[in-house]
Amino acid sequence: MTLEFTTTPSENTATAEQLAGIFENPGFGRFFTDHMVTIDWTSDAGWFDARVEPYGPIAIDPAHAVLHYGQEIFEGLKAYRHADGSVWLFRPDQNAARLQRSAARMALPEVPAEAFIEACRRLVEIDEHWVPSGAEQSLYLRPFEFGNEVFLGVRAAESARFMVIASPVGAYFADGVKPVRIWLSEHHNRAGKGGTGAAKTGGNYASSLLPTQEAFANGCSQVLFLSSLGDGLIEELGGMNLVLVRGDGTLITPQSDTILDGVTRNSLLELAKSMGFKVEHRPVSIDEWREGVADGSITEAFACGTAAVITPINEIVSAGGSFGWPDSEPGKVTMQLRQALNDIQWGRAEDPFGWMVQVTDAKE
């Protein structure tokens, strides 16, 4: 069954002047476009009432499942404006598939992949003028889903809502790419074996906020989490995957079933292979990283995710000391990969993988 979408256009859309003001400094997730998409679900009716409507507050019942038991999942992907004015999404099928995997883990209904992609397309089409064209600017889409049954009993909600909202975002590094220091969390873990680490669910983020405050207090901008088993294996940051670069042209990324499988990481590693790098997807310990830095075999490290694409890392700080490449500039391989992916996303390079999905036509 294909879902039919209805559209109620906003009567209060942003003016060209307002948009120009926002695009001067969009930041991240501060401004939202004129419309949003909603699809409702009940266990009896399945998915129904797919609609594009003016952006605005929604009614929440105080007994909604999501407010009490955190039954929520989300996605993040971007729309890019190419030089000819056309707008493209990056691998929306991957986000659709991951939302389904997250849904399965969190006992939420799976949004059909066509409905997910159609929802993203329709929002980008109707709010097309919200897609900025400045350097490294894009429109960030935030699809999400939550249980909204009015019931305090503890079981999977029998009604749920899927929504997509969108927000113009600026260059993550406004003054050029700068490496960051990351805090090694020794007392908190992000995910446990058999838990929800591989699902993109709000609770994983809620639990990372306290260690993130600890990171800030120690002059770091992100947290690196280790496996909860006490085996010293590295997992990922609160919202980004991790890649280590060896001087011999090998990229290493941790393998674990409690890591969120990032679209950016997968894409960068595929690109890297096509550029002649070797890729190892295997367990990696913090000791291997520390020793590799000490003996010079590990030369760079970066975090990756949709929001910032690549964030170079130059120091790992913990209560017991730190290691890395303090005060160094971003690594060569890191910047080469960043450039290669950005060039595909903004249409400056060929897209041999067929990753880009066109939403709107080139402008005359």
Ligand X SMILES: *Cc1c(COP(=O)(O)O)cnc(C)c1O
Give me the residues that bind ligand X (CB under 6 A), please: 76, 200, 236, 239-241, 260, 262-265, 305-306
Of 227 and 306, nearer to ligand X (C-beta) is 306
- The answer to whether the Cα torsion of 323, 325, 331, 333 is positive or negative is negative
| Contact predicate 126/34, CB 8 Å | yes
The beta strand positions in 255-364, using DSSP E, are 278-282, 298-305, 309-318, 321-324, 356-360
Containing H/E element for 51?
A: strand 46-54
Nearer to ligand X, 159 or 204 (CB): 204
Nearer to ligand X, 35 or 200 (CB): 200
254: closest CA among 265, 238, 243, 268?
243
Pairwise CA distance, residues 167 & 179, whole Å = 25
Cβ proximity to ligand X: between 266 and 297 the closer is 266
* Element (DSSP H or E) covering residue 69: helix 65-69
CB of 328 to ligand X, least distance (A): 24
Query: C-beta of 236: minimal distance to ligand X in Å?
Result: 5
Shortest Cβ 96–ligand X spacing (Å) = 12
At 173 the three-state DSSP class reads coil
The least CB distance from residue 338 to ligand X, in Å, is 13
Report in angstroms how near the CB of residue 74 gets to ligand X at its nearest: 8
Contacts of 331 (CB under 8 A, 6+ apart): 245, 299, 300, 301, 302, 312
Q: How far is the CB of 354 from ligand X (least distance, A)?
A: 18
What number of helices (H) and strands (E) belong to the chain? 8, 18
User: Between residues 81 and 91, which has the closer beta carbon with respect to ligand X?
Assistant: 91
In the bound state with ligand X, the residue whose beta carbon lies nearer, of 14 and 259, is 259
Contacts of 149 (CB under 8 A, 6+ apart): 64, 65, 157, 158, 159, 160
Name the minimum Å distance from CB 310 to ligand X. Answer: 10
Amino acid at 291: E
Gap between the Cα atoms of 99 and 111, Å rounded: 8
CB of 176 to ligand X, least distance (A): 22
User: At closest approach, how far in Å is the CB of 359 from ligand X?
Assistant: 19
Asked if 91 and 263 touch (Cβ cutoff 8 Å), the reply is yes
Q: Is 299 helix (H, G, I), strand (E, B) or coil?
A: strand
The token duo for 250 is: 């090998």
Closest CB to ligand X among residues 143, 149: 143
Q: Which is nearer to ligand X, 19 or 197 (CB)?
A: 197
How far apart are alpha carbons 136 and 174 in whole angstroms?
9
- Structure tokens of 329? 């500039």
Half-sphere exposure of 313 (CA within 13 A, CB side): 31
For ligand X, give the closer residue by CB, 65 or 198.
Answer: 198
